[in-house]
Chains A and B, each alone.
Chain A
């Protein structure tokens, strides 16, 4: 009797197992037929930019039922280490958007998809994207990434402090001399108020903020072949001396931590267009923007920032899905909406002239300075040695801001350090 029960139980178990297995098998087969390709999109766009990206990605996923793009957002400082370990371990995402300053190194990884080949040639893939932005994506004749966004630096100023200091809040400075006079007037308000906030912490932040002063005064950064520095010149000294004097002679600025402008403790600072939305919503003061002031006899110049979007080598399906997304994301209508949501600058004429973006600019007057200035934006050297060059340059300049090294010595030290960085990296 017991045996019969056992047998019955075994037969029933087998039947259940077979049914479940067959059922699951057919379900797997069915799901395989329609299973979309899921790809990760690594980036560092957080806050409002992250939300804007999320909305666009949702829209893309709806329009492309065979593809599911999943944005994965890291803090800015974490994305590069994550990519480094992913590349080393062969577990790269299908898509990533990174800082243009990293591109020279990313290009050498051997892991990026040739977008030119995937999109019917470089010309077809790039359309009317501004040539200066393409320098970061081209490597050994291949197009390995496309611009996902661009931006530049302009002058932000605190209209409340301008009023308090007896200055006209609708007349921001246009020249270095005016900027100096305004900074001195504001710093006289006391209680630690700085006329101008200057970035003096070593690293790319200092270099990227200082380069426009070099270019405006007629000095360069590196030569055309990116093999030697060109900033150690009379014009370079004028640029550095101007900022050093603001700190150590005029006492209109402080060598120290960054952030005084955000708290309403500084009259002016230079920063990027991505700050416009944040200041509009959160700044405890009324702010304005203007093109960067220039020296007498100088030229307009600003620095170009932004991100490049790239696809990593993987399976045929993931590569195709990533390329489809890149093509969609860099198309003019999507870029225009992306710029409206993020306050980034247009990457091409067709984006710049789109009605959506023109309407947004009319509604957001603080963006005008950035739009006007984009044509004066310089690209930083797209070479693998650039991070080391920038680091060496900024570390040599830092003591000048603290007044412990003369401007001439700081530039001479920077010249030697940059030459060394160029030769060893």
Chain B
């Protein structure tokens, strides 16, 4: 009976498993193999170079700069969207039924096609006809040339990243807040605990599992960013927005260095894995 059940279970997971092996596991292992070659993606010969691509990576100034840009982008987008998401969810909690409309509004960027949204943002950031600079000029503030200025391009793509990510954080926090036990808050009210104290000493600690989820998924999402930066700046000006995924794409598919690009991909994967494990460890210690 147990064997029969197991067989049925294996049969049921077989389609998903086959897809996983074909489209995730196999390419994953194959890219590790490619990362040890100097293959251009077209040549019939894949020359084995050992770990040379990985050694070259750390001597490559462009990779180091890309790593730093990716770190700034990831930390900024993840932290700001998480904090804002929590605050907005808190405010929405107090609005009762009308919060559904606001939740829909905040969530709409998540389901908007990033490329289409990036094209709209490109118009918004235009230094002459863009709404953002026109607004700043109306306030007698200097409007920067957002996407062409080496100092402003990264903040501009970070703004778009936050805009895109915020809705997810709001929805997850809103769901988390709605599941909190009301009895604790009622008891706190009876004890005369202030609103801020309830947030600081009750809501934030109770929301820790949700925060871990939002941070980890936000982090994994942000570190792999590609699409909107590709449309808005293509990594420029002067590499100021050249995140690792963009570097990987350019190396592999524009410069015919698929081996090197695979090494970048594996390095990115190891970074994500290490930091995710670190986040879980920190969470466990707090539990």
Contact = CB atoms under 8 A, between A and B. Distances in A.
A60 interface: no
Contacts of A84: 41-42, 252-253, 258
A88 interface: yes
A109 B45 CA distance: 8
Contact of B234 (A191, A201, A265, A391): A201
Interface stretch (B84-92, B145-153, B160-168, B176-184): B145-153
A192 B237 contact: no
A109 B257 contact: no
Contacts of A404: 238
Interface in B10-67: 40-44, 62
A196 to B, nearest CB: 16
A264 B147 CA distance: 19
Interface string A63-83: 000000000000001001101
Interface residues on A, range: 35 or more
B191 to A, nearest CB: 58
B185 interface: no
A254 B144 CA distance: 13
A251 B103 CA distance: 47
A87 B41 contact: yes
Interface string A128-153: 00000000000000000000000000
Interface string B220-244: 0000000000000111111100000
Contacts of B257: 388, 425
B236 A202 contact: yes
A70 B42 CA distance: 23
A202 B62 CA distance: 13
A387 B41 contact: no
A257 B169 CA distance: 32
Interface in A202-223: 202-204
A204 B254 CA distance: 9
Given A77-B253, A256-B147, A105 B236 contact: no
A192 B145 CA distance: 11
Interface in A326-361: none
A108 B147 contact: no
A112 B258 CA distance: 20
Contact of B128 (A77, A191, A200, A387): A191
A88 B41 contact: yes
Nearest to B232: A257
B256 A255 contact: no
Interface in B231-287: 233-239, 250, 252-258
Contacts of A108: 40, 42-44
B59 to A, nearest CB: 12
Interface string A91-117: 000000000000001101111000000
Interface in B123-177: 127-128, 145, 147-150
Given A201-B237, A255-B148, A391 B254 contact: yes
A176 interface: no
Given A255-B148, A256-B237, A109 B43 contact: yes
Consensus secondary structure, chain A interface: loop
A257 B41 contact: no
A402 interface: yes
A398 B62 CA distance: 14
A363 B271 CA distance: 60
Interface string A411-425: 000000000000001
A392 to B, nearest CB: 9
A383 B244 CA distance: 27
Contacts of A306: none
Nearest to B256: A105
A277 to B, nearest CB: 22
Contacts of B252: 81, 84
A257 B257 CA distance: 26
A257 B148 contact: yes
B238 A384 contact: no
Counting chain B CB atoms within 10 Å of each CB, which of A111, A256, A388 scores highest?
A: A256
A164 to B, nearest CB: 16
A305 B145 CA distance: 32
A110 B253 CA distance: 19
B73 to A, nearest CB: 19
Contacts of B235: 202
Contacts of A87: 41-42
A298 interface: no
A388 B128 CA distance: 35
B152 to A, nearest CB: 11
Contacts of B258: 84
A76 B83 CA distance: 40
Contacts of B62: 395
Contacts of B233: 257
Nearest to B128: A192
B150 A387 contact: no
A398 B240 CA distance: 12
A109 B258 CA distance: 14
B58 to A, nearest CB: 16
Contacts of B127: 192
B234 A109 contact: no
B255 A106 contact: no
A88 B258 CA distance: 11
A399 interface: yes
Given A105-B43, A387-B254, 7 more contacts: A105-B40, A105-B42, A108-B43, A256-B237, A388-B256, A402-B237, A402-B238
27 contacts: A77-B253, A80-B253, A81-B41, A81-B252, A81-B253, A83-B42, A105-B42, A105-B43, A108-B44, A109-B42, A111-B44, A192-B127, A201-B234, A201-B236, A202-B236, A202-B239, A254-B148, A256-B148, A256-B149, A257-B233, A265-B128, A388-B256, A391-B254, A391-B255, A395-B239, A398-B236, A425-B257
Interface of B: 40-44, 62, 127-128, 145, 147-150, 233-239, 250, 252-258
